[in-house]
Amino acid sequence: MCPTIAIWAALARSGSVRTIVCSGSPSHAWRCGHRRRLLRYPGFSEPVCRHCAGAGDDHVCVQRGAEEALRERGLCGRCALDRRLTGLLGDRPQRARIGLEGLFDALARARSPKDTLKWLDTSPATRVLARIASGELPCTHEALDALAPSTAIRHLQHLLVATGALPARDPGLARLERWIEQFLAAHQDPELRTFAHWIVLRRCRRNSNRSPLGEGQINSAKTELKSAAALLDWLTDRGTSLADCTQADVDAWLADSRPDRYVARSFARFVIGRGLMRKLDFPAGRTTAITPAVSAHNRVTLARRLLHEEGIETRDRVAGVLVVVFAQPVTKLASLTVDDVAINDETVAIRFGQTAITLPQPLDGHLRELIAERRDRAAAELPTPPWLFPGSSPGRPIGAQSLSRRLKRIGVDCQARRIAALVDIAGHIPAPVLADLLGLGILTATRWAEIAGRPWGDYPALRQQ
């Protein structure tokens, strides 16, 4: 039996997951039986409503008549929030003219008016919103990008996109474009500028058309440009130009201790192709060694703990199992949507590649719970996000690095565990099936099959069995 399949057999014998359903009692008054706000009043052993206690209307909103905790000037939190937002964003015609009506509705419908009021009181974004509402600051990406970068401004920008005030865009690509322009302003070499725009940015924009750029792709692009600039500065310090660069210069550069020295190879190949540097040998450098595989017993133990141990958040539980058992990278997990999951009364299936995988118990129950409880973690009431793992920014998925850090805190080393799962699975199923199920390229799947000791030539023989 395949060890990956055996994992499920071992997990099935380890007990089921307890599901605790909150069944809070309705707020019925002790005496009158009406649904009202209950408080502890002197002389009563149990919380009762103000009518039963003979108390005044100190907790009644003067605008809606609701019995709630009052926030300001006799208004409940909902009414106080509506008044505050109207004062900040203007009346309906003004909001409609600027495009802030969607933002007003989302903030006004927030689950917790108290938290949204606190956000309006403390966030620097409130001042920016006031400038936008007054017409002082245009409601555009360009205007917000020109402000001093901060977490509050990025959050506001995502919120404006999620509510339709701004057009959607890839925030990672936009951030990289701004960084590149600042970087090129400090490095005036014309070949570096051409390389940045025609090679690095062009590639990133092409990738962004398929899916939003991750932190790894952004950092890789930055490292590529930093290494190219460092090579140019190093040649200048030696009194050498690109045209005069020799093989001895390249060998001296690579003999240095700079960690990213081999990354400059892409820039070197670019200028060689343009005829600006003679044809020289610039090796790609050493590849990272494969992490030793984790034993099947270790994987079973970790998978069992993720599935059954109490105190683990559902999203961490599901993401951890998808890494440990199904060899999924966190970059892919972060981009999964509910459309990648098919749920009916009997089964739950998830799609990583061309063919969906039906999930066994108890993982199917955890995935149902994840989809039911997921919501946008914002101060506004936004439509349910499409992402399987929503992030802290409105309308955005969780970042791959953030998800990786969360999993590491519960004992899942994503890189090592994914490699262990890939070696295990690739050793028991053919490369084309591996590529189809896990969403790998066929060359990548073949490479993992070779690492696991199952070459491509085994596949025709297996089909004849």
The C-alpha atoms of residue 232 and residue 242 are separated, in whole angstroms, by 8
What pLDDT shows up at residue 2? 54
What pLDDT shows up at residue 200? 96
Given a contact cutoff of 8 angstroms between Cβ atoms, the answer to whether 290 and 268 are in contact is no
What pLDDT shows up at residue 179? 95
CA angle 284/289/291 to nearest 5° reads 150
pLDDT at residue 319 is higher than 60 = yes
What pLDDT shows up at residue 457? 52
Half-sphere exposure of residue 281, counting CA atoms within 13 Å on the CB side?
Answer: 6
The C-alpha atoms of residue 427 and residue 449 are separated, in whole angstroms, by 6
Strands (E), 226-331: none
The C-alpha atoms of residue 171 and residue 149 are separated, in whole angstroms, by 13
Would you call 357 helix, strand, or coil by DSSP?
strand
What pLDDT shows up at residue 101? 93
What pLDDT shows up at residue 27? 42
Of 330, 319, 329, residue with least CA distance to 401: 330
Average pLDDT value for residue range 247-256: 94
pLDDT at residue 397 is higher than 70 = yes
State which H helix or E strand residue 332 sits in: helix 330-334
pLDDT at residue 249 is higher than 50 = yes
Of 11, 9, 13, residue with least CA distance to 301: 11
For residue range 303-316, what is the model confidence (pLDDT) as tens digits? 999 999 999 999 99
Which has the higher per-residue pLDDT, 251 or 41? 251
For residue range 211-238, what is the model confidence (pLDDT) as tens digits? 888 888 899 999 999 999 999 999 999 9
**Taking all residues of the chain, what is their mean pLDDT, rounded to a whole number?**
83
Least-confidence region, from 170-174, 285-289, 300-304? 285-289
The C-alpha atoms of residue 224 and residue 264 are separated, in whole angstroms, by 6
pLDDT at residue 184 is higher than 80 = yes
pLDDT at residue 389 is higher than 80 = yes
pLDDT band for 10, please (50, 70, 90 cuts).
Answer: very low
For tokens 């409503």, what's the residue? 49
Average pLDDT value for residue range 178-183: 94
For residue range 325-378, what is the model confidence (pLDDT) as tens digits? 999 999 899 889 999 999 998 899 999 988 899 999 899 999 999 998 876 566
What pLDDT shows up at residue 56? 60
What angle, 0 to 180 degrees and rounded to 10, lies between the N-to-C axes of helices 171-186 and 215-237?
Answer: 10
Which has the higher per-residue pLDDT, 8 or 82? 82
What pLDDT shows up at residue 212? 84
pLDDT-above-90 percentage for the chain = 48
Backbone angles phi, psi at 450, to 5 degrees: -65, -40
State which H helix or E strand residue 93 sits in: helix 92-98
Neighbour-count burial for 323-352, b at 16+ CB within 10 Å, e otherwise: bbbbbbbbbbbbbbeeebbebeeeebbbeb
pLDDT at residue 407 is higher than 90 = yes
Q: What is the DSSP code string of 144-177?
A: HHTSPP-HHHHHHHHHHHHTTSS----HHHHHHH
Of 459, 424, 458, residue with least CA distance to 438: 424
pLDDT at residue 393 is higher than 70 = yes
What pLDDT shows up at residue 206? 94
What pLDDT shows up at residue 465? 45
User: So where are the chain's domains?
Assistant: 28-59, 70-162, 171-273, 296-426
Is the entire prediction scored with pTM above 0.75?
no
pLDDT band for 69, please (50, 70, 90 cuts).
Answer: low
pLDDT band for 78, please (50, 70, 90 cuts).
Answer: confident
Q: How far is CA 428 from CA 3, 6, 449, 457, in A?
A: 8, 12, 9, 14
For residue range 124-160, what is the model confidence (pLDDT) as tens digits? 999 999 999 999 999 999 999 999 889 899 999 999 9
pLDDT band for 396, please (50, 70, 90 cuts).
Answer: confident
Least-confidence region, from 176-180, 392-396, 420-424, 458-462? 458-462
Which has the higher per-residue pLDDT, 241 or 399? 241
What pLDDT shows up at residue 66? 64
What pLDDT shows up at residue 55? 65
pLDDT band for 431, please (50, 70, 90 cuts).
Answer: confident
Backbone angles phi, psi at 187, to 5 degrees: -130, 100
Average pLDDT value for residue range 446-464: 64
What pLDDT shows up at residue 76? 82
What pLDDT shows up at residue 452? 77
Which has the higher per-residue pLDDT, 62 or 270? 270
The C-alpha atoms of residue 319 and residue 300 are separated, in whole angstroms, by 16
Given a contact cutoff of 8 angstroms between Cβ atoms, the answer to whether 406 and 320 are in contact is no
What angle, 0 to 180 degrees and rounded to 10, lies between the N-to-C axes of helices 414-426 and 400-409?
Answer: 90
pLDDT band for 21, please (50, 70, 90 cuts).
Answer: very low
